[in-house]
Structure 1
Amino acid sequence: MNLLPISRLRLWLQSASLLAVLAGYGVMLGFNQVLSGYERDQAHRQLAEEVASQLSQQTGSRQQLRQLLLARSRAPLLQLRLTPLPAGPAPAGPLRGEPRLVSSGAQSWLVSRVAIPLSSGETVWLQVEQNVSASVRQQQLGSWLLLVAAGLASLITSGLLRLVLWRGLSQPLEVFRVQLSGIEAPPRPGDQLVVADQPEELRPIARAFNALQQRLAASWERQRSFVDGVAHELRTPITLVSGHAQRLLRRHPDPALVPSLRLIQQESARMGTLVADLLDLARQDSGRLRLRCRPIQADDVLLALHERLALGAAGRLRLAGSDASGEPGPPPALADPDRLQQCLTALVDNALLYSPPGSPVTVGAAGAADGRLLLWVRDHGPGVEEAERERIFGRFVRGSAGLRGDQRGSGIGLAVVKLLMEAMGGDVRVVEAPGGGAEFQLRLPALEPALEPGLSPAADPPSA
């Protein structure tokens, strides 16, 4: 049985329970000592009174008392002797002093004094010394047994309490945590916990979570509908603005208007890309994203990318040279060519944006160590800090390099790249480029031999 690490709550409960057990045994130990001492003192007082009564009846003078005490001095467990009379008036009746425990080596004695009135009218003090070593040892033995019992009880209580806490607290909480972890984003109205299946103590939390999940699902649906509607509404006017700007540039306008028209064209293209990204996110959230996957060759993909972006990159976009080592080239893969171009274009645009002016941006392909197709985009910019290499692929998240500079960005480009790559069965990651900078890598599963170009695919291309 794998016990979970002790949380603060379980540690507090165990500590409180152990302290309660130890406190109970401490009270028992103290009560036992007080009771044993009281019983021993009472027995000693009774013995002293009986001895004093017998001696008072058998003797009439101090001399007779001395002789009688001398005859009794051979008793090993009881010693009797006369003591000087205390100062002050003579006591009336058989008075006695409080017993006190005196240790002498390994022996323990109870000592008390009793006043004995003689028939001659004289009063003497008799000191009674009783050997109680056996009683003291028995009391000590009982104390040690109680201490051992307290230790054993603490261990048993700790073990049982740990088991009870695990079965009654940790295990239900762990099951509850697993159920919560299984609910993925975005929230959906059907993602509800079954309240009846939860322990009685966790049912209020489950009901509160279900209510929160319903509110989040409703909010997410409103947000998705808003983004979807706005993106569709913006798509047509942006297309019109871009088309009119291109038409005016082709008709040889006034040279003074050319910079403004080019700016309008560039910004409308950027807005069109942003709207397309928003639509992709909305389609993914609603399950309406569709891909047209077919076999691709990495060289064809990179060549088409270079031909399409080389002019706008002002000569900065470079194709990595082919490997002349004789090793096999990048393997074919199954992907949506248009969506793959969209992903590569987003990575190249980011690399051109965040790299120093005039520095090259290189794209290439290779076979990954696990046999997959690897497409990479490498720049010479500030790079991505290791702590941000996962976070920058989230929605509306920008890295620290983008926040420090004056570059504009929406924070959704890399999120779209991630969702498209995952929809095609691949992934995206960023590593440090050789010589500095960032290298974004797109990885796709290699095509099965039966599906390589030139052969008939065994099934329809997958779609997401």
Structure 2
Amino acid sequence: MKINFKKTYKFAVKSALYISLFGTGFVLILMNLFYKNQLKHQVAFGIIFIISIYIFSFLVLQYRVERFIYRRVKKIYDEVSLLESTTLINQPITTDMETLSREVKKFATDKKLEIEMLEIREQYRREFLGNVSHELKTPLFTVQGYVSTLLDGAMDDKNIRKKYLKRAEKGVERLIYIVEDLDMITKLESGDLDLNMTDFNIVELIQNVFDLLEMKADKKKIKLAFESKNVQSVIIRGDQDRIQQVLENLIVNSIKYGKDGGLTEVGVVNLTKKKVLIRISDNGEGVEKQNIPRLFERFYRVDKSGTRSEGGSGLGLAIVKHIIEAHKEKVYVESEFGIGSEFSFTLEKAHKAVKTEVK
């Protein structure tokens, strides 16, 4: 590593001045004691002496300080370079202690933050791998169990064979579902998933999602409705299929964690001339405050029981976040435990909204 050396003369200048003043004053006092009547010669001698001693002191001090400090400071920089720091080793080495202390303190603070971030990422990585393992293990063991039972002799019974094959098929479908969701998130994060941007009516799309999920909601007697009967129809600019996926994921979540006989409402709010806010609210379980910041993490579940009684891949909210961010928009969540939750996101308008009646 090539090291740039930045000199500082402050210490040598001051020290040389002190030495020169002391040395010259002391010599002049001695000369005055021994040569009282030669004032003119004393002044000339004093001027020459102070200049000479100052230059000599400055050179000696600067050389000695540079050699003394540089060797020690260079060792610090060399040790720091092992950490491949771009914040310190690329700076010229300085012999100014105040500057050096400030740089090292800043470097130490930056490194502390970097280490903390690495620890958080490592914890997230461990949790993520554990969750992936759990999500894949359950359907894999299910399929393995049914197939093994069939191979052990149950295949001879036609009814059992058909029933077990259907159950094994469901396990395979769940595996495919999880893998497809993981693949989508990977593409969204890497920017490989292209969005097909078109103009579409967001109110009609929400109504279509209601129709698709009506049977699922009926099982828990949950009503799907708009906040207002005379909701405005708004033409949106975005990827219709991806926005439908966002709506499906959020509404399915509200059904899963909603109470029997509950209500899921979707609101379409005009924020500005260019933006619209879509709100999905329910009166279900709600989420405790400490869990809200982590809701959009992959495989993160508020329910730690491990039963996964409500199914799903555990990737729904992570996909929602990535799709909305791919549209360069924001997603929000508000929730109160025991009362309900509201998820919302913004979208860009394409055309002026017109009023329409919702059936």
TM-score by length of 1: 0.40
Which structure has the higher relative contact order (CA within 8 Å, separation 6+)?
Answer: 2
More helix by share: 2
TM-score between both structures, scaled by the size of structure 2: 0.50
Whose Rg is larger? 1
